[in-house]
Structure 1
Amino acid sequence: MAKQAQPKEIKLICGLGNPGPEYARTRHSAGFATVDALAERSHVSYWKSQAGCEMADAKLRAGGELHEVILAKPQSYMNTSGGPLSKLMRELRISPQEILVVHDEVDLPVGTIRVKWGGGLNAHNGLRSIADKLGTRDFARLRFGIGRPPGKMSVADYALRQLKGSFLDEFEVTAQDAASACEKCLERGVLWCQDNIR
């Protein structure tokens, strides 16, 4: 069995979601919401389209230092996000060990944030697409807990439902927490965050 690669310094933070206003305030676009929070913190004023992604150069302050990173939002749908992301990484010469992918996670309670290096894909189609296109599962993930749907509601309906009121407020607070966790990954590294963000 191939030895697992080790994470390197993060150069690109990729948020997963679905493009378009009808998906903007849905749990499935947790990654987009987190990247948007990071863009706001670093006063990003310009996004450009490259390789099928919306991308921006950001300077994030973490641990008293400025870290230059690329923020990316693949503009294909979630299930095919690996295509645009892998193309962007090739163009920018960024390796899988230098990315942090932010995604929604039904197996974590609402509001919970976890950092994970490599491992399984947990039936997440966005992660599966990325792993397939990169040819490896050795990349960092930031898991944004959205919880399980209530009653007999399907996961798809739950993840794609527009959020309102207190549900939207809670989601936006978690996006800020997730953005802070991304900054901590820049400051302390992915493996430290995997063990310490609880």
Structure 2
Amino acid sequence: MGFLDLFRPRRKDDTVAENTWLVVGLGNPGAQYAGNRHNVGQMVADELAARLGATFKSHKTPSRVAEGFLRPGGPKLVVAKPNSYMNTSGGPVSALLKFYSLPVDRLIVVHDELDVPFDTVRLKQGGGHGGHNGIRDISKATDAGPFTRVRVGIGRPPGRQDAADFVLKDFSGTERQALPNLISDAADAVEAVASDGLVAAQQRFHSPA
């Protein structure tokens, strides 16, 4: 911001841009993947859109987008579900950031996490991808600093089941009973980051029950 900008009247659009968050729910497109553990990020995106009273629509970027405000005068959420497969999530995310002129620190990615127990939500900024191909591809495509991650715990596969097979299976019957609460908690975590910041959200969601 230059010296003269200090005296420039603030436009409504400026305030909106400063308080906008891009929230991306990761998953794979197609009905055959909709119930997979790997698609829990998109399930959370659906919950957020429902809370905003918004509908996902086709977008100029390769994604479907729903937009709305958490409350009057509050943060605006641009909730997106990439049309690409998980392994190539980086392109759509990068395009969305450019379209909305948002820095990477305004990006919240919601994704499944093997290293977090099922029915648990954990928040972090940056860090290694841990073998998650969606996070790996987004990190490569943005390459501009760490972004916030809402890690939705799905736990490790039982026995010797391959992790790649595990994440592409639907949640078990027992898991499905707890799934609505898990999705709700993850959506709450996104809203907390947008409203109160990462540290405050971590204190809330990482504290013992």
TM-score (norm 1): 0.89
Match of 1:181 in 2: 189
Moved more, 98-107 or 51-60: 51-60
1:150 aligned onto 2:158: yes
Counterpart mapping for 1:4-153 below 5 A: 11-61=21-71, 66-153=74-161
Q: CA offset at residue 128 of structure 1?
A: 0.6
Alignment-mate amino acid for residue 88 of structure 1: L
Alignment-mate amino acid for residue 22 of structure 1: Q
Closer/same/farther in 2, CA of residues 29 and 81 from structure 1, 3 Å limit: same
Q: CA offset at residue 13 of structure 1?
A: 0.6
Residue by residue over 1:87-144, the C-alpha shift from the partner in whole angstroms, topping out at 9 and shown as x without a partner, is 1211111111111000100000001101101122212111110010011451110000
Superposition RMSD on alpha carbons, in Å? 1.8
Q: CA offset at residue 164 of structure 1?
A: 5.0
1:160 aligned onto 2:153: no
Closer/same/farther in 2, CA of residues 121 and 20 from structure 1, 3 Å limit: same
1:105 and 1:137 map into 2 onto residues whose CA distance is 21
Alignment-mate amino acid for residue 38 of structure 1: L
Alignment-mate amino acid for residue 109 of structure 1: P
1:49 and 1:95 map into 2 onto residues whose CA distance is 19
1:35 and 1:70 map into 2 onto residues whose CA distance is 10
SS class of match (1:17):
coil
Alignment length (residue pairs): 189
1:69 and 1:123 map into 2 onto residues whose CA distance is 28
1:77 and 1:28 map into 2 onto residues whose CA distance is 11
SS class of match (1:69):
strand
Alignment-mate amino acid for residue 96 of structure 2: L
Structure 2 residue runs without a partner (length 5+):
1-17
- 8 Å CA contact 1:9–1:189 kept in 2: the answer is no
Q: CA offset at residue 46 of structure 1?
A: 4.6
Identical positions, percent = 38
- 8 Å CA contact 1:10–1:99 kept in 2: the answer is no
Closer/same/farther in 2, CA of residues 120 and 164 from structure 1, 3 Å limit: closer
Q: CA offset at residue 14 of structure 1?
A: 0.6
Structure of greater Rg: 2
Alignment-mate amino acid for residue 36 of structure 2: T
SS class of match (2:70):
strand
